[in-house]
A and B are shown apart, each in its own frame.
Chain A
Amino acid sequence: MTHLAYVAAAYAIAVGMPLFFSIEVLFRVRSVRRRLAAIDTRRNRSHP
């Protein structure tokens, strides 16, 4: 029990890292989809 802080810190880092990467890629994909949709809409408008 005296080493609980080490165990808790290791689990926090190990769980936090994939969580960070998941959230980061989610926002990245959302932003890139929005940009792509905007470009496609403009392209379709200029080339009917």
Chain B
Amino acid sequence: MITPQNLFRHELIGLNVEIIESSHEGIIGIKGKVIDETRNTIRVELNDGNESIIAKNVAIFHFQTPKGEIVEIDGKILVSRPEDRIKKKFRKI
């Protein structure tokens, strides 16, 4: 089960995402579905069918869990290979 507590260790592909804050103004407000993930980037499919690649460490994301809860996550926590995120340690701020 994807819950707000284990979302940063869980699978991001398939979730809805929105970017609310970034050091680069052009990508603020992008909305869509995550379709791929690498160490430093995620690939988002927009509602009109185009795709865009977004760097993780410059943005703050709003992920939507399958139950409908919205979780805010700083992208700097997510920087690591997708299979290594399961064992990542993180202290709550």
Interaction A to B: no
Taking Cβ atoms with an 8 Å cutoff, the residues of A that contact B are none
